[in-house]
């Protein structure tokens, strides 16, 4: 390690407790910046990222759209880094707006929360993205209430009639949206699978999914044909690990 040799002038400054500014080479500065960046670089949980991509493909099959329409790769990478565990946190992720949070958020949050709980991981600060914190926080808080409130309202309405079409009409929602809310309710333990399928049917669907080593709905639908609807397939796989 090189030693510093102080001049008489430097000694005088030290005695007077004055600051001494030392020059730094360009190479040393670059090394310092590189070390700083590497030490603050956030960790991407690759196994979670793989699961998020599988979920994205499954949703893309459900909605018959390309996977990137659901969420882009950068968005999934940020999710796998920050580990958002609430709707407001999810809304601070790059590429997640209120519409997508409402449409897909519950499924992604459920997966992330299970992963974080299993590995005892806390949610990280959203250092990867700089949104207007004031505006976004307000939107996030309202969106969270709207999202969970919407699912609960749909569930309560469904329990009145136990009819999907009547529920959709009463809630002024599309049938697909009602089905999505009820799948979320099953995932969160608010509704039993037996409401829509027998235990044998649930087991049959899950076994076939395991044989195919995939949770993609399209191959399952092709296998079962008219025996089960897409909605029933989603219900059966809602809590399948």
Cβ-count burial 93-115 (b if 16+ within 10 Å, e if not): bbbbebebbbbbbbbbbbbbeeb
| pTM of the model as a whole | 0.43
- Residue 43's pLDDT band, with cuts at 50, 70 and 90, is confident
For residue 51, what pLDDT is reported? 94
Tokens of 17: 């407790």
- Tens of pLDDT along 48-102? 999 999 999 999 888 888 888 898 889 999 999 999 888 888 888 888 888 888 8
Query: In CATH, what class is 46-191?
Result: mainly alpha
Residues whose CB is less than 8 angstroms from the CB of residue 48 and which lie 6 or more positions away in sequence, other chains included: 79, 80, 83, 111, 112, 115
Helix (H) or strand (E) holding 116: helix 98-119
| Domain ranges within the chain, ordered by starting residue | 46-191
Cβ-count burial 126-136 (b if 16+ within 10 Å, e if not): beeeeeeeeeb
Distance CA 146, CA 47 (A): 31
Out of 17-31, 42-56, 164-178, 207-221, least confident range: 17-31
Does 158 score more than 90 pLDDT?
A: yes
């Amino acid at each position: 390690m090189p030693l510093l040799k102080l001049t008489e002038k430097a000694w005088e400054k030290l005695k007077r407790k004055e600051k001494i500014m030392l020059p730094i080479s360009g190479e040393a500065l670059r090394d310092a910046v590189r070390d700083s960046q590497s030490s603050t670089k956030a960790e991407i949980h690759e196994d979670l990222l793989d699961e998020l991509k599988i979920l994205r493909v499954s949703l893309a099959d459900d909605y018959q759209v390309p996977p990137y329409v659901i969420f882009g790769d950068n968005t999934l990478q940020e999710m796998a880094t920050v580990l958002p565990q609430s709707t407001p946190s999810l809304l601070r992720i790059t590429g997640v707006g209120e519409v997508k949070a409402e449409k897909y958020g519950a499924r992604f949050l459920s997966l992330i929360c299970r992963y974080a709980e299993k590995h005892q991981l806390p949610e990280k600060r959203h250092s990867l993205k700089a949104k207007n914190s004031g505006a976004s926080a307000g939107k996030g808080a309202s969106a969270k209430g709207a999202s969970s409130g919407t699912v609960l309202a749909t569930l309560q309405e469904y329990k009145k009639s136990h009819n999907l079409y009547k529920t959709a009409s009463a809630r002024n929602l599309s049938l697909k949206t009602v089905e999505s809310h009820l799948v979320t309710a099953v995932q969160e333990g608010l509704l039993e699978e037996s409401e829509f399928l027998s235990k044998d049917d649930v087991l049959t669907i899950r076994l076939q999914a395991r044989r195919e080593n995939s949770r993609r709905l399209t191959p399952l639908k092709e296998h079962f044909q008219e025996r089960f609807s897409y909605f029933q397939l989603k219900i059966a796989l809602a809590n399948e690990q």
